[in-house]
Structure 1
Amino acid sequence: MIVDCRIGCGACCIAPSISSAIPGMPGGKPAGVRCVQLDDNNLCRLFGSPKRPDVCSDFSASVDVCGNSNEEALWLIGSLEVETSF
């Protein structure tokens, strides 16, 4: 079930690896590393900008991926990253 993002969560900007270039991170970002575009309130500085990577814009929050808390989202997304890494 698709849900609204929890404002200030940021788990999708920390837990997964992102292979596409991000402004300030031209080689993408490794899993578990905070995106440089995530501000101190865990909000994306590129939200709504054409500079935002497609992988970020295409992400849809869901209970299966984001759970019921920020901590659960970090754990779930981190677990998915481990399970899908080669």
Structure 2
Amino acid sequence: MKCRFGCGACCIAPSINQPFYGMPEGKPAGIACVHLDDSFNCLIFDRPERPKVCSNFAAEQSICGDNREQALSILEELELITLNKVGED
């Protein structure tokens, strides 16, 4: 599956706990990345400044759902599950 044009769910829902170009403190969950434009597209998608965690993300049906709203919901749920598991350790 290819990234859905104008989705941007993966640029909003998950947190990025490492500093990266344009966001030296990382990115909190639920906050749009500074590189996400008003049309929900990544401005640095094909550039070397793109965080490795982002370029390693592979869009797939089970995570991205059928539309942007489903993708946001699924990714938000995965973020919460991840936070809860980290808190258990």
Task: Give TM-score, length-normalised by structure 2.
Answer: 0.90
Mean alpha-carbon deviation: is it higher for 53-62 or for 16-25?
16-25
Instruction: Give the match for residue 76 of structure 2.
Output: 78
Give how far 1:79 is off. Answer: 0.1
Cα distance between partner residues in 2 of 1:84 and 1:24: 25
Mean alpha-carbon deviation: is it higher for 29-38 or for 15-24?
15-24
Instruction: Give the match for residue 47 of structure 1.
Output: 45
* Structure 2 residues not aligned, in runs of 5+: none
Question: Structure 1 vs Structure 2: percent identity of aligned residues?
Answer: 52
Instruction: Flag as ranges the 4+ runs of structure 1 deviating above 6 A.
Output: none
* Structure 1 residues not aligned, in runs of 5+: none
Instruction: Answer with 1 or 2: which has the greater Rg.
Output: 2
Instruction: Give the match for residue 35 of structure 2.
Output: 37
Does structure 2 retain, via aligned residues, the 8 Å contact 1:20–1:53? Answer: no
Q: Any idea what the Cα deviations from partners look like across 1:14-49, whole Å, max 9, x if unmatched?
A: 000011222221011000000001011111111111
Task: Give TM-score, length-normalised by structure 1.
Answer: 0.93
Larger helix percent? 2
CA RMSD of aligned residues (A): 0.8
